[in-house]
Amino acid sequence: MNLSLYQDKGTWLHNLDPRTKLIGVAIVFIICLCFNSPIYMAIIAFSVFAIALSARAQKALWTLRYILLLLIVFSVILWPFFTTGKTLIWSWGFLRLTKESLFYGIAMGMRLSTFVIAGLILLSTTKNEDITNGLIKMGMPYPLAFAFSTALRLVPTFVGAGATIVQAQVSRGLDLESKNILSRFGKFIPLAVPMFITAIRYTNRLSMALESRGFSPESQRTLYYEPVMKIKDWLILSFMLILLIICLYMRIFLNLGVVMPGRL
């Protein structure tokens, strides 16, 4: 089962240098942290979503649609009860719901979803080896870059193994659809044993493969693909840096886009 998020679509984002996309994602994260107003966060979220559509990353967004929805729902439900504002909407005992905390919860849900969408754009438009090369070109030590790329490879592998195990057990008569959600969740617990065994076997095979090839993190290495920054990469980075400076100025000096002062 191939669960890789990368899609070779040949869009303008696919053709950018991996360093541009890595720095761009980091800038998007910082911009999201500048505001906690739902209006400002909605503008950022829809802008990032439009970029995802232009990169033709709809498949990745659809794959994780439930996660994006749960992030928003749980943030809207939980955050208002852990923050307090001035305008009271409802209270019951020690529970208080204020307008500012509700708006803050909505903003946090959109912020978390924007984080996920930005990461999906990166993974959908950049090959795993290109991310590794970009990190190395940015000065990250090779062992760290290799560990990061290996982690990206392991996640879809383990998810695919888990799906295969579930399908195998269902074909043998395991009922995962009937009864309430707690009973169904309990049926997944025994499936964790084969999942752990699969993970141990895979990591053991990976270590043997690396050892048989004489892998050494300290060795000097060459890259088959040498990423090169082009004019469009510099233009996009310059635009994003200017946008970041504007957002920081709006938050720090103008105090705009804030419904809960003193909080990110």
pTM greater than the 0.85 cutoff:
no
| Whether residue 111 is found in the same domain as residue 157 | no
| Whether residue 40 is found in the same domain as residue 112 | yes
What is the token pair recorded at 213? 């090839």
Per-residue model confidence (pLDDT) at position 246: 97
| Whether residue 58 is found in the same domain as residue 78 | yes
Q: Using CB atoms within 10 A of its CB, is residue 158 exposed (0-12), middle (13-18) or buried (19+)?
A: middle
Q: Is residue 5 part of a domain?
A: no
| DSSP 8-state symbol, 17 | -
| Whether residue 148 is found in the same domain as residue 35 | no
Dist CA 166 CA 39 (whole Å): 42
Q: Is residue 161 part of a domain?
A: yes
| Whether residue 80 is found in the same domain as residue 23 | yes
Q: Is residue 225 part of a domain?
A: no
Q: Is residue 173 part of a domain?
A: yes
| Whether residue 85 is found in the same domain as residue 165 | no
Q: Is residue 6 part of a domain?
A: no
Contacts of 162 (CB under 8 A, 6+ apart): 191, 195
| Whether residue 49 is found in the same domain as residue 74 | yes
| Whether residue 153 is found in the same domain as residue 197 | yes
Q: Is residue 220 part of a domain?
A: no
112, 115, 120, 126 alpha-carbon torsion, rounded to 10°: -170
- Cβ neighbours, 10 Å, residue 254: 9
For 28, the domain range is: 18-126+230-252
Q: Which residue, among 32, 108, 95, has the nearest Cα to 260 in the 3D structure? A: 108
How many structural domains compose the chain?
2
For every one of its 264 residues, what pLDDT tens digit does the chain have, with 9 covering 90 and above? 455 678 888 899 999 999 999 999 999 999 999 999 999 999 999 999 999 999 999 888 887 888 898 899 999 888 888 888 888 887 777 777 888 899 999 999 999 999 999 999 998 999 988 998 899 889 888 888 888 888 877 777 777 777 788 888 888 877 777 666 667 667 777 777 888 888 788 888 888 888 887 777 777 777 777 788 999 999 999 999 999 999 999 999 999 999 888 888
| Whether residue 193 is found in the same domain as residue 81 | no
The answer to whether 17 and 174 have CB atoms below 8 angstroms apart is: no
Three-class SS state of 127? coil
Q: What DSSP assignment string belongs to 125-167?
A: HS-HHHHHHHHHHTT--HHHHHHHHHHHHHHHHHHHHHHHHHH
Dist CA 190 CA 143 (whole Å): 35
| Whether residue 50 is found in the same domain as residue 89 | yes
Q: Is residue 132 part of a domain?
A: no
Give the residues across from 96 on adjacent strands.
91
Q: Is residue 89 part of a domain?
A: yes
